[in-house]
């Protein structure tokens, strides 16, 4: 397979949530500096891999190439709005070699099941933004394995990733970023 680099992106609350109890992004997780960072990263990516709900909730005004996870796909299918992929029917290696035959950078913006899936496939980088001081009651965690005693950092480190230097994206709102990468550097 050609060289593919997988980058995950999430902004999470102090209690590890990416969405509220209704599955929507709450105001406390919307931040201009994080959004600008995320958009600049998407500009460097060859394809964006996301869940069907996120795809339907977020318009694609820049016409970026999307790969949408859904059980409605027969495996991998090209539709007008992107490639529709069902991981239960076709492996990642086969799917991405069709979508990006020459390789390239893959952006993974979630949601939860998609973040879970790529924990097993393997992240080359996970861009973890924290909206510090925020709490989302009964929300959707970034990874299914998250619990009070197991935060996103624990789960990433169990998968062999280590954090780079913590960077402040927005001092007023206490929004910080750490990029986690495989410790062996050989992924």
> How far apart are CB 125 and ligand NAP at their closest, in Å?
15
Rounded CA-CA distance 92/121 in Å is: 8
Could you say whether residue 140 binds ligand NAP (CB under 6 A)?
Answer: yes
The least distance separating ligand NAP from the CB of residue 137, rounded to whole angstroms, comes to 15
Binding-site size for ligand NAP (CB under 6 A) equals: 29
Q: Please report whether residue 128 would count as binding ligand NAP according to CB under 6 A.
A: no
* Closer CB to ligand NAP, 11 or 95, in the complex: 11
Query: How far apart (Å, rounded) are the C-alpha atoms in residues 162 and 47?
Result: 25
Positive or negative, the CA dihedral 96, 178, 40, 27 is positive
Of residues 57, 56, 4, 9, the one with CA closest to residue 35: 9
Interface with ligand NAP, residue 173, by CB under 6 A: no
Give the max Cα distance, the chain: 47
Closest by CA to 89, choosing from 72, 106, 67, 65, is 72
Q: Which of 167, 69, 178 is nearest to 121 (CA)?
A: 69
Structure tokens at 104: 């390239």
Q: Which stretch binds ligand NAP (CB under 6 A): 47-55, 92-100, 158-166, 176-184?
A: 47-55
Can residue 141 be called a binding residue for ligand NAP (CB under 6 A)?
no
Cβ-based neighbour number of residue 77 at 10 Å: 15
The site string for ligand NAP over 98-117 (x = CB under 6 A, - otherwise) reads: -----------xxxxxx--x
Residue from 29, 49, 95, 155 in contact with ligand NAP (CB under 6 A) = 29
- What's the min distance (Å) between Cβ of 185 and ligand NAP? 26
By CB under 6 A, name the binding residues for ligand NAP. 10-11, 18-19, 23-25, 29, 50-54, 57, 69-72, 86-88, 109-114, 117, 140
């Amino acid at each position: 397979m050609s060289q593919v680099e997988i980058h995950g992106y999430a902004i999470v609350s102090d209690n590890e949530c990416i969405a509220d109890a209704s599955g929507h992004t709450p105001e406390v997780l919307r931040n201009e500096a994080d959004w600008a960072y995320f958009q600049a990263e998407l500009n460097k990516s060859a394809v964006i891999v996301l869940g069907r709900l996120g795809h339907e909730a977020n318009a694609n005004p820049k016409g970026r190439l999307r790969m949408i996870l859904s059980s409605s796909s027969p495996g991998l299918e090209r539709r007008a709005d992107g490639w529709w992929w069902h991981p239960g029917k076709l492996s990642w290696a086969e799917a991405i070699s069709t979508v990006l035959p020459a390789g390239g950078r893959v952006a993974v913006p979630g949601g939860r099941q998609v973040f879970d899936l790529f924990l097993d496939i393997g992240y080359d980088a996970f861009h973890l933004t924290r909206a510090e001081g925020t709490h989302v009651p009964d929300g959707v965690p970034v990874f299914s394995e998250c619990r009070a005693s197991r935060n996103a950092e624990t789960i990433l480190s169990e998968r062999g990733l280590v954090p780079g230097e913590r960077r402040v994206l927005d001092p007023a709102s206490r929004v910080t970023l750490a990029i986690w990468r495989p410790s062996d550097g050989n992924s």
